[in-house]
Amino acid sequence: MKNILGEEYKGDSRFVADCRKLQSIYRVEIGENIRPYTDRYGNVHCYGNYISNGEIPKDGCWKNFLTECAFKHAEYRVENRKEYETIESDRLFNNLLSSQPMAFNLFCPLRQMCMDSPEIATKVIKAALPDYCIHKVTEVELEFIPKDYPKLTGDKSAMDAIIRFEDEQGKGGFIAVETKYSENLGTNVAYDRDENGMKIPRAKSIEAVKQLQCFNPDVEKSIMGGNTPLTQIYRNFLLSEMYGFEQGLLSYSIILAPKRHPSTKRELESLTNGLREEYKNKVKEIKLEDFVESIISIGPVEYANIFKRFYDRYLNFDKLKNFD
C-alpha cells in the first residue's frame, strides 16, 4: 500500500510527512502517476506529491484543482503573469503539496461566490472571519502584489489572497491572507548590499518601519541595526500595512494554517511581541480547519460541498490510518 504513495522524504518532520502522504493519497484517488523528481545532486526520487501535465484536465478532473473556477483562474494568471508576479506554473499545476494551489482551491470558490452574489459572499466570509468590521465584501483576489511595491517596501512577496470589504461607514479595507500548509513562513530575509557587497537591511523596508512606527522603540532600533532580521512574516506585514497606509484603507493580516502546523504560533509571536499595542490586533492566526468548517456550515450547498472536498483533501488526517 505504501509503495503507491511514493517515497518518503527523509528531511520531513512528522507533520510534513503526514501532509505529503495525504496529498499522495489524493493523487491516487484522482488516478495520477508520480512524476519523478531529480534533486540537486542528480538523484531521482519518487515523491508522491508530484504529478505531470497538471495543466491538462482529464475526464472532468482538474488534477491539482478541486473546481473548474480554480483551474481556469490559475490558467489565466499563468498566461497573463506580470513580470513582478511570483506565480510559478509547475508549482501551481503539478505540486500537490504546495500552498499556492491550495490557496487557489480555497479562495477561488469564494471569488466566484463574490462575483455571482456579493450578499452571499459577505454572509459567508463574515461568518468565517467574525472579528472584522466587514459590512460588505467587494472583491476576493489571489496572489496579489501591489504594482507600486517598489515604493512601499521594495518587497514583492505576494499576498496569497486579499479580501476587500467596506465597513458600515462605507470605508474601504482589506484582509491580507497568508496560507500555509506544510511549509513554514520562512526565514528568508529582505536585504540590500553595501558598497563592499555586505548584506544590510533593505532601505525601503527600513523607511516603512520608520513611517509606520508600528514597532516598539527597542525593536525598531534592533531592526534598523540589522539585529532583528526582516523574515517573511515581517515582510508580509510591512507590505500589507504600507499598502493600506498609501491607499487610505483599513488593513489587517491573517495567517491560515492547519491546527497541527508546528511553527505558526512561534513565528507570529516573533512579530507581535515587538509591535506597539495598537498594531497587535492587525495580525492574527486563524486555524484553517475553523475557517473551512465555518464556510461549510453556512455556505450554499454547492459551495459547502466544495469545501467538504477541500477539507477531505488537505485536513482529513484520519485517512492516513488506512495507509499505515
What pLDDT digit, counting tens, does each position of 36-81 carry? 999 899 999 999 999 999 999 998 899 999 999 999 999 999 999 9
Rounded to whole angstroms, how far apart are CA atoms 163 and 107? 9
Q: What pLDDT sits at residue 225?
A: 85
Reported as a pLDDT band with limits 50, 70 and 90, residue 96 is: very high
Cell numbers linked to 199: 548584506
**Dihedrals φ, ψ of 8, to 5°?**
-80, 145
Question: By mean pLDDT, which of 5-14, 221-230, 284-293 is the weakest?
Answer: 221-230
Write b or e for each residue in 177-210: b if 16 or more Cβ atoms lie within 10 A of its Cβ, otherwise e.
bbbbbbebbeeebbeeeeeeeeeebbebbbebbe
β 191-193/199-201 pair status:
antiparallel
Residues forming beta bridges with residue 163, ordered by sequence position: 140, 175
Residue appearing with cell numbers 502546523: 261
Per the structure, the count of domains in the chain is 1
User: What's the average model confidence in pLDDT over 217-239?
Assistant: 92
Q: What is the pLDDT of residues 121-141, one digit of tens each?
A: 999 999 999 999 999 999 999
Q: If you count DSSP H runs as helices and E runs as strands, how many of each does the chain have, helices first?
A: 13, 9
Task: For residue 179, give its domain range.
Answer: 2-323
User: What's the average model confidence in pLDDT over 83-90?
Assistant: 93
Reported as a pLDDT band with limits 50, 70 and 90, residue 319 is: very high
Q: What pLDDT sits at residue 157?
A: 85
Rounded to whole angstroms, how far apart are CA atoms 100 and 142? 9
Cell numbers linked to 140: 476576493
Q: What pLDDT sits at residue 286?
A: 97
Q: What pLDDT sits at residue 2?
A: 57
User: What's the average model confidence in pLDDT over 222-241?
Assistant: 91
User: What's the average model confidence in pLDDT over 222-251?
Assistant: 93
Q: What is the pLDDT of residues 152-182, one digit of tens each?
A: 998 888 999 999 999 999 999 999 999 999 9
What's the Cα-to-Cα distance from 132 to each of 114, 126, 137, rounded to whole Å?
18, 8, 11
User: What's the average model confidence in pLDDT over 83-95?
Assistant: 95
Q: What is the pLDDT of residues 179-212, one digit of tens each?
A: 999 988 776 676 777 777 777 778 899 999 999 9
Q: What pLDDT sits at residue 187?
A: 65
Question: By mean pLDDT, which of 187-196, 241-250, 270-279 is the weakest?
Answer: 187-196
HEC profile of 197-253: CCEEECHHHHHHHHHHCCECHHHHHHHHCCCCCCCHHHHHHHHHHHHHHHHCCEEEE
